[in-house]
Amino acid sequence: MNDATALLHRYLNGETLSEQECAALSEWVCASPDHARLAAELTCLDQAILADQRHRASASLMDSQD
């Protein structure tokens, strides 16, 4: 994992990035279509994982109320 993907992971995990880190991440994403594609794929994967976790937590809560 390079510095830019580490920054992206930190951002997706809810960490606040400094202005310099945001600029570095933005520059990396804009530097090539491959970088942009990877950032989009990681973001979509992150959102899918969060949605799955919410669904599982909701289902577990409903099961415990029965």
Distance CA(33)–CA(37), nearest Å, equals 6
Q: What is the pLDDT of residues 2-57, one digit of tens each?
A: 899 999 999 999 999 999 999 999 999 999 999 999 999 999 999 999 999 998 88
* CB contact at 8 A, 19 and 9: no
In this structure, are residues 24 and 11 in contact, taking their beta carbons and an 8 Å threshold?
A: no
Residue 32 host element (H or E): none
CB 7 within 8 A of CB 25: yes
Residue 63 has pLDDT above 90, yes or no: no
- Please give the distance of CA 49 from its chain centroid, rounded to a whole number: 9
Q: Determine the average pLDDT of the residues in 55-64.
A: 79
